[in-house]
Structure 1
Amino acid sequence: MSSLVRLRLLPSAKCLYTQPVQVLVDGLRSSQVVTVKAGTTDDKGTLFHASAVYRAGADGGVDLGRDPSLGGSYRGVEPMGLLSSLRADVLHAKFFKIDSRKPHVVRFSVHEGEEEAGATLAEATNERRLLADGVSRQPIDEGNIRGVLFVPPGEGPFPAVLDLYTFGGGLSERRASLLANCGFMVLTLALYGHHQPKTVTKLHLDYFEEAIQFLRKQPKVMDSGVGLISLSKSGDLALSMATYLPHVKATVWINGCCSNVVMPLYYRGSQLLSGLMYDGRDLRFTESGALIIKDGLHDPLAPENQGSLIPVEQAAGHFLFVAGEDDLNWDSCLFADHLTERLRRHGKDNFEKVFYPGTGHYMEPPFGPFCPSSVHAVVGAVVAWGGEPKAHAEAEVHLWSKIQEFFRKHLVSDTASAKARL
């Protein structure tokens, strides 16, 4: 490495996962061409990397927030492009950052010339923590509930959120821990209860009711109702919870469906909703071999599928419907339009709707690797999720702020707000 070249990460090489960093290189020759690389390993041991080519200015410096990439994983000015452009060394791998106790460690390096194999000039490591100082992490195995509870530091009270982000019934702590960093008490919940069999053919709303009751009993919780945040299949679960269960005040639905999908939903021993199914005859393949399953889901509005439609007009709480316009999993924009139109027909105005152009199915907290394709837990095959990397990354940044704003608006009481200001 050159002793003259420096790679700096500002304001600090250690930060929270959702905080941007400024990547600077100095000590280069005027107009020198270099390649800046980023690499990381996820919780499953999969390697991810990205690279971008830059030309130094007259002062011998490169600033990723100012200077355009000339090639590599992306082109143009993208201050956090090396993080959002991280791709696995193997096809169809999703980035798994599941355990909040392990930081997202990204290794940056600067190399001579336009080739990644050029001589290393400088290196730096960015440690991106998922847990802020003072946030407690409590594994939960109580009754049927299987999950992890995150509680912000201080006496509270804190607005409560149930995170329904799931990996085929398993747990992911990333989104829940990051929301707790923002002042929310969050329970991330496994899709299936602790005592259910591994092969699940139906879901029970009673399990999710138990989780809501658990959250509301926490000593530091705000007595203003519970928020729900969902994605994909858990989107229809969140709609059903908001529709049939009390105390749900605010629901974030991200790229979900307007019907109960695949597995029938039961409550207190009786079936509430049938499962909307897929038809394998309408599937297509991408050049990489991933399936496009968007057109395979049966029409939820067809007469024979009325039993799967969720009567959201019965819900008392508020909704934030979020859809990526390039979602290839299913037509989430159409489903969001149906949901809002159904609410309007019943005289409801308890919703907001946001569509993001160029955005695919897996909308995550910002500054993580973009996932174009991976194994679908229900389909059991590799599917394409859609999205254009830059537009998708920009949408995730905007949505992260939107989610917090929505929850604070509908979960934080005026009394609690006044207490917080004092």
Structure 2
Amino acid sequence: MLQIARIHYRQMSVQAARMLVSPARALVDERVDITVESLSPRQPVTLQARLVEGTAHFQSYAHYRADSAGRVVLGKQPALGGTYTGIDQMGLFWSLQPSPGQKPGLRLRKKDVSTPFLVDLSLHDGHVDVTGEEENLPDCLAATTVERWYLGEGVERIPVREGRVRGTLFLPPGEGPFAGVIDLFGSTGGLAEYRAALLASRGFAVLALAFFAYDDLPKEMYDIDLDYFEEAVDWLLSLPDVQSHGVGILSTSKGGEIALSMASHMGSKVAAAVAIGSYTAITGAPLPYKDKVFPCAQWIPENVVFTKEGHVDVRGVVDTTREPGIQACVQKRQSVPSCLWQGRMTSAQKQFSLQIRRLLE
């Protein structure tokens, strides 16, 4: 999979700038080394990244100054401005943002994991703002394209229609059985495969599980029951390619509420649960399971706060201390006060069987 891209463009002088990228084809979680050579000593330059996914356009850029040898090494020299600053080998990738004219709140998501993200890198003379029209940019001194994949070589992608279960199974190459994971997203519905594909590329057997607004599943998020998810767990554990001692659940948003409910009520079938950006209570509508119906937490809309940046702060809208589960908090996520919730969950430990671990970035 290792490739090195070298594409040369002639400058106005005798020099020819060179951009070296290694690897030029890799999984999205792999680091990329980017080096520019054959610049003038101390020459100011701008590096730009562009990515198009369907109708969505994203871009990033950074200002650098070549060293005395005419080189720029992103992993060793600081970006002086742009969409990020400081020494950051992967800054051009993580700081990609919607291009001007794109709709607000646009997210970068891979819809078709059988194709890579194609990230076009270009080098321009001087420190310039490259977020405007392309025809107004300085001449390109060097350019190349980097492939960023979610689906690794040899990973099997298998559509799933088993009983009520709908989704896609990803199996890594090699001999199993592999640790099983169910991947759940949230209130957007449908089926997202990119995270499951990447996990399978790293050795897990992963079921990307849809639960509404997909195929013949319920149209609305609130017409679901926990039995559906237990059916998915049982099916995954029945596969010879999957280890039989319980599955892990990786989840986001509404999927996190479901994952914590699964961990609370399905015993050893669920060995671990990770909830990202999720409440620790059931919200929106009651959740049926077997002969029970778990009530949803009460919303307190008057507790919604709009910040000066225009963000919605939902702290205090839902009392999450009543729902047993497993919570991992990241203090950096300012929309959820992890220290406060950690304290409340710790207080609730006397009533429920909880495991609490706070993660620091």
Shorter-chain TM-score above 0.5: yes
The 3 A distance-change label for structure 1 pair 324 and 104 is farther
Partner amino acid for 2:167?
G
Give the Cα–Cα distance (whole angstroms) in 2 for the partners of residues 232 and 333 of structure 1.
19
Aligned equivalent of 1:95:
108
Q: What is the 5 A alignment of 1:41-52?
A: 41-42=52-53, 44-52=54-62
Structure 1 residues 76, 17: CA separation in 2 closer, same or farther (over 3 Å shift)?
Answer: same
In structure 2, the CA distance between the partners of 1:276 and 1:174, relative to structure 1 (3 Å rule), is farther
In the aligned structure 1, how far is the partner of 2:34 from the partner of 2:174? 33
Structure number with larger C-alpha Rg: 2
Cα pair 1:255 1:324 within 8 Å, conserved: no
**2:329 is matched with which residue?**
322
Maintained 8 Å contact 2:62/2:79: yes
Q: More deviation in 136-145 or 274-283?
A: 274-283
Contact 2:205 2:242 in 1 (8 A): yes
* 1:5 and 2:1 are equivalent in the alignment: no
Change (3 A) 1:135 1:270: same
The structure 2 residue matched to 1:224, chosen from 245, 255, 264, is 245
Q: Percent identity?
A: 35
Greater alpha carbon shift after TM alignment, 213-222 vs 274-283:
274-283
1:104 matched to which residue of 2?
117
Indicate the SS of the match to 1:139: strand
Give the match for residue 118 of structure 1: 138
The answer to whether structure 1 residue 182 and structure 2 residue 189 are counterparts is no
Q: 1:77 to 1:23 in 2, by over 3 A?
A: same
Q: Deviations over 1:107-143 (max 9, x none)?
A: 1010011123111000011101111111111121222
Kindly state the Cα deviation for residue 218 of structure 1 after the two structures are TM-superposed: 1.2
Distance 2:235 2:83 in 1: 45
Spell out the pairing of 1:264-413 with structure 2 (5 A cutoff).
264-268=286-290, 270-277=292-299, 279=301, 282-287=304-309, 290-295=310-315, 297-301=317-321, 309-312=322-325, 319=326, 321-328=328-335, 330-343=336-349, 345=350, 350-356=355-361
User: For residues 74 and 40 of structure 2, what CA distance do their matches in structure 1 show?
Assistant: 17
Q: Distance between the aligned counterparts of 1:340 and 1:253, measured in 2?
A: 17
- Residues of 2 paired with 1:98 and 1:39: CA distance? 18
Three-state SS of the structure 2 residue aligned to 1:58 is: coil
Name the SS of the counterpart of 1:158 in structure 2. coil
Contact 1:279 1:298 in 2 (8 A): no
**What is the TM-score with the length of structure 2 in the denominator?**
0.86
In structure 2, the CA distance between the partners of 1:265 and 1:47, relative to structure 1 (3 Å rule), is same
The answer on whether the counterparts of 2:324 and 2:354 sit within 8 Å (CA) in structure 1 is no
Instruction: Tell me, yes or no, if the aligned pair for 2:297 and 2:318 is still in contact at 8 Å.
Output: no
- The higher relative CO (CA closer than 8 Å, separation ≥ 6) is in 1
Tell me what 2:264 maps to. 243
Contact 1:255 / 1:322 at 8 angstroms: preserved in 2? no
Counterpart amino acid of residue 190 in structure 1: A
Equivalent residues of 1:52, 1:82 under 8 A apart: yes
Q: Which whole-Å CA distance do the structure 2 matches of 1:66 and 1:146 have between them?
A: 46
1:173 to 193, 200, 216: 193
**1:347 positional shift:** 8.8
Distance (Å, rounded) in 2 between the aligned partners of 1:200 and 1:177:
24
Tell me if 1:84 matches 2:105: no
Shift of 1:174: 1.7
Q: Work out the CA distance in 1 between the residues paired with 2:30 and 2:354.
A: 34
Q: CA deviation at 1:105?
A: 1.2
The secondary structure found in structure 2 opposite 1:209 is helix
Q: Residues 332, 175 of structure 1: CA spacing in aligned structure 2 closer, same or farther, 3 A cutoff?
A: farther
Counterpart of 1:55 in structure 2 is: 65
Pick from 58, 72, 75 the counterpart of residue 65 of structure 1: 75
TM-score by length of 1: 0.74
For the residues of structure 1 that align with 2:216 and 2:69, how far apart are their CA atoms? 63
The AA in structure 1 aligned to 2:17 is V
For 2:340, the aligned partner's letter is L
What amino acid sits opposite 1:130 in the alignment?
Y
Change (3 A) 1:275 1:351: closer
* Shift of residue 203, structure 1, vs aligned partner: 2.8
Q: Which residue of 2 aligns with 1:255?
A: 277
Give the structure 1 partner of residue 235 of structure 2: 214
Q: Alpha-carbon deviation of 1:166? A: 3.5
Structure 2 vs 1, CA of residues 240 and 282 (structure 1 numbering), >3 Å: closer, same or farther? same
SS in 2 for 1:137: strand
Aligned residue identity for 2:264: T
Q: Which amino acid aligns with 2:279?
A: C
Cross-structure match for 2:49: 38
Q: Give ranges in structure 2 of 5+ residues lacking alignment.
A: 1-8, 131-136
2: CA distance, partners of 1:145 / 1:21: 38
CA distance in 1 between counterparts of 2:151 and 2:158 reads 12
* Alpha carbons 1:257, 1:336 under 8 Å: kept: no
- TM-superposed CA distance for 1:169, in Å, is 1.5
CA contact (8 A) 2:211 2:217 kept: no
Deviations 1:219-263 (Å, cap 9, x if unpaired)? Answer: 211111111111222222111101111311111122322211222
**Deviation sequence 1:282-324 (CA, Å, 0-9, x none):** 331544xx441323623345xxxxxxx3233xxxxxx561334
Q: Give the AA of the match of 2:358.
A: K
The DSSP-based 3-state class of the residue aligned with 2:328 is strand
Match of 1:131 among 120, 136, 151: 151
Shift of 1:188: 1.1
